[in-house]
Structures are given as structure tokens and as C-alpha cells.
Amino acid sequence: MEIILYLFILIITSYVGFSTLYIFFFAFASIFRTEHKHFGKSKKFKCLVLIPAYKEDFVIREVAKKASELNYPKELLDIVVIADSLKQETIEALKNLPINVHEVKFEKSTKAKALNSALDYYKGPYDIAYVIDADNIMEPDFIQKVNYPFEKGFVAVQGHRVAKNTNTNVAILDAISEEINNSIFRQGHRALGVSSAFIGSGLAVQYDLFKEMMKKVSHVGEDKELEIFLLKDHHTIEYVPNALVYDEKVQQYSNMVNQRRRWLFAQFDFFGQYISEAFYQLFAKGNINFFDKVIQQALIPRSLLIGTIGLYFIILGFIFVLSNQLPAVMLIRQWLTIALLLFLTMLLAVPKKHYNLKTLNALAQLPLGIIVMFISLIKSAFNGNTFFHTSHGVSGNEKQK
């Protein structure tokens, strides 16, 4: 029995330790990459901006209006709102803007279906396809900045998605989580020459390639699947940290549960589907980017990582109180090292702008956030490949109508 317990602890310690060491390594690397300074001097590509909008009546009008005001030649830019289950009054208002409205209706809606429908209709010719969420607002020079790497030979680029709102503690935690991901999975990876990760919005892909790849997409996590296809073909995704797209962060834990549940299912599903191929790609074709992407799917989400480490030390405390004996010193040292690495990772990955009293106050709700992640993990195991819509409101104190 003791041997089984020891092996279980060893497996858990190794898994938690690997997840922590991985994110620490790339968080440390992120501080050595400087931002892109070149923009506005690139070739003026013909661009198609796709904005899937599923039941997003409350936010889509402002997003579409801001998109139509981008600092880019109008004759080289087509903005398309993919209207899925929008109210008729919203559609009529959108048609009054200098954009295109592509109405769709599906028995079971997914973002991939909406994008493929628009790609079949808007054939171009286009050079680059952009994907923006229905709650995203691009900064005026976003297209110019993201276009630059395409002139340098890249076929896929991820912009820097930042928080549009920090009006609740949940939104603050969501904003910080986003920036940590930017540091680790985008900035840190590119610092070492490894492919950036997609987010799902604020991304751009060479149009013909995007259209070809999207026809293969069948999962709810369309950005992860698209990324897998690109990396399998040995493409590298660039990251432009000074090309900002403002994303509305979830303001309530109920919405966060839906969002994280969708992400967790996609993560574990892709790991199980591609892990054997990842080793083949690494050893047979030297495809480090593909291997790295699949390994990312096995990592413990950070909130669960924090919860696991905290729970472990609570258990150690109970063992000490009940038996009046300290557990194995080696285990204590291992977990203290893991906890320290995780703390350093957060220090390295969180932008300095978030070091304030609002963040400190939001951190008081982190235990609840950890519980939410555990709930999401449990629910993701039972819901399968299901689309969960995350409702969006506004960036102020108003409530969604």
C-alpha cells in the first residue's frame, strides 16, 4: 500500500513539477524579446476581416463601427460581420455601416461553420484573412502592424489581445490570465524561435491557406485545430506584441465556467488525439513546433496548478498535526521548489501595469476562481464536443440587457 501511495505522489509531483517548469522557462525567456517597431511601411495587402457574431447584439454594433474606422486604405479592406442568430434590428443597424453583413443560420452553431460560410461567399481575391471576435476592438493601426510579418515571409500572425475592461474582480483576474498567456505562449516562445500560440481572435492567416485549413476544422476549439494544421505543415506563427486588439473580459464567474469548460475540453481532446503523432513529428521530421503545441495541451491550467500546490501543503499540515511527524523532507523540498518557481513565473509574466491595489483586491477572490476551474474540469468531462456561448456585456458598470 505504501509503495502504491509513493508512486501516486511521485506521479503527481512529476506532473505538477513539469507543468510549472515549462511555464517558468518560457516566462523567463519572454523578458529577452523586444517588441516589433516596424509597422506602416509594409506592402498594402488586400485584407478580409471576419467577425463571427453569435447572439452578440449588445456589443457587435460598436465593434463593427470601430472596425470600419481602421487606419487602412478602404479599397484594400473588407469588413464582414457573420450574423448568426442576431436580432433583425441589429442586422439593419449593421447594414447602415460601411461593412458587409453575412447572415447565417445553423442547426448547431459553431465558429468554424460561420467562418467557412463567409469564406465560401467572399472569395476575393484577398491576401490575408483576419479573425476578430464580436467583442473585440482593434486599435487603428492594427492591420498595418500585423501585416508587416507577412512581407517577411510569415503566413500566420497573432496580435496582442489585451483587456478592454477591468470593471470587476473577475475581469481583472481574466485580464491578468490573458497577459500571462501572452508572455509564456507567445512572447516567450518567439524569443526562443518557437511558434507563437493562437488565441482565437486578433489573428491573421494568408487567405488561401486559411481557407484551405478551415475546411478541415471540425472541433469547437477551431483556433487550436487550425494551429495544429499549420504547425504540422511546418509553418511558424509570428507574434506582434505592439499590435493591440481589445477584448472584453468575462465579468461573472458563471460566464467564466462556460468559457473555461470549452477551453479545457478542447485542450484535453487535442492532447489525446495528437500525442502519438507529436512524437512522430519530433523524431521523424524534426517538427519541434508541432511537438511543443501538443505538449502544451497536457499542462495543468495555472489556477488548478495553484490549487493543487495549496492543497498539497494543507494535506502536509494535517499529516503533521495528526501524526506529530513531518512528512519526507525530500517531498517538502520538492514542493517548496515548485511553489517558488510558480511564484517567480507569475512575477515574470504579469505586466507591471497590473501591480496595483485593484489586482491585490482581485486576488482575494482567487480561491473562488480555483474552485470554478475544478468545476469546469469536471463538467468538461461530461459535455463532450459542445459549443458553449459566452455572453458579453459592456466595459463599464452597466449590465447586459
Average pLDDT, the chain: 86
> What pairs with residue 102 in β-bridges?
82
Note whether residue 395 is domain-resident: no
Q: How many domains does the chain have?
A: 1
Residue 401 in this model has a pLDDT that exceeds 60: no
Separation CA 296–CA 319 (nearest Å): 33
Separation CA 148–CA 129 (nearest Å): 14
**What is the phi/psi pair of residue 200, to 5°?**
125, -20
Mean pLDDT calculated for residue range 219-239 = 91
Separation CA 371–CA 241 (nearest Å): 32
At position 368, the amino acid (one-letter code) is L
Residue 346 in this model has a pLDDT that exceeds 60: yes
Note whether residue 313 is domain-resident: no
Maximum distance among all alpha carbons in the chain?
76
Separation CA 234–CA 69 (nearest Å): 35
| CATH code of the domain in which 181 resides | 3.90.550.10
**Could you tell me the pLDDT band of residue 231, with boundaries at 50, 70 and 90?**
very high
Lowest mean pLDDT among 236-245, 257-266, 298-307, 338-347: 257-266
Q: What is the pLDDT of residue 395?
A: 44
Separation CA 203–CA 127 (nearest Å): 14
* Cell numbers found for residue 283: 523524431
Q: What is the pLDDT of residue 259?
A: 64
Note whether residue 64 is domain-resident: yes
**Could you tell me the pLDDT band of residue 70, with boundaries at 50, 70 and 90?**
very high
Q: What is the pLDDT of residue 166?
A: 86
Separation CA 171–CA 199 (nearest Å): 17
Domain residues for the domain of 238 are: 47-267
Asked if omega into 125 is within 30° of 0 (cis), the reply is yes
Which residue shows C-alpha cell 477551431?
222
Separation CA 150–CA 156 (nearest Å): 8
pLDDT tens by residue, 353-387: 999 998 888 888 778 777 776 776 666 555 555 54
Query: Closest by alpha carbon to 223, among 241, 236, 205?
Result: 205
221 in Cβ contact with 270 (< 8 Å): yes
In the chain, the percentage of residues whose pLDDT exceeds 90 is 59
Residue 237 in this model has a pLDDT that exceeds 50: yes
Mean pLDDT calculated for residue range 295-308 = 88
Burial bucket for residue 84 (CB in 10 Å: 0-12, 13-18, 19+): buried
Note whether residue 37 is domain-resident: no
Residue 212 in this model has a pLDDT that exceeds 80: yes
> What pairs with residue 73 in β-bridges?
none
Note whether residue 335 is domain-resident: no
pLDDT tens by residue, 316-333: 777 666 665 555 677 788
pTM for this predicted structure? 0.87
Q: What is the pLDDT of residue 34?
A: 65
Q: What is the pLDDT of residue 129?
A: 98
Note whether residue 288 is domain-resident: no
* Cell numbers found for residue 32: 529577452
Q: What is the pLDDT of residue 335?
A: 87
pLDDT tens by residue, 255-276: 666 666 666 777 888 899 999 9
Note whether residue 255 is domain-resident: yes
pLDDT tens by residue, 5-62: 778 888 888 999 999 999 999 999 999 876 655 544 567 899 999 999 999 999 999 9
27 in Cβ contact with 349 (< 8 Å): yes
C-alpha pair distances (Å), 212 with each of 113, 203, 215, 216, 235: 14, 16, 6, 7, 14
Note whether residue 355 is domain-resident: no
End-to-end CA distance of the chain: 57
**Could you tell me the pLDDT band of residue 126, with boundaries at 50, 70 and 90?**
very high
> What pairs with residue 77 in β-bridges?
47
Separation CA 83–CA 54 (nearest Å): 7
Q: What is the pLDDT of residue 8?
A: 82
E-strand stretches of 122-202: 128-131, 137-138, 156-163
Query: Closest by alpha carbon to 182, among 167, 198, 166?
Result: 198
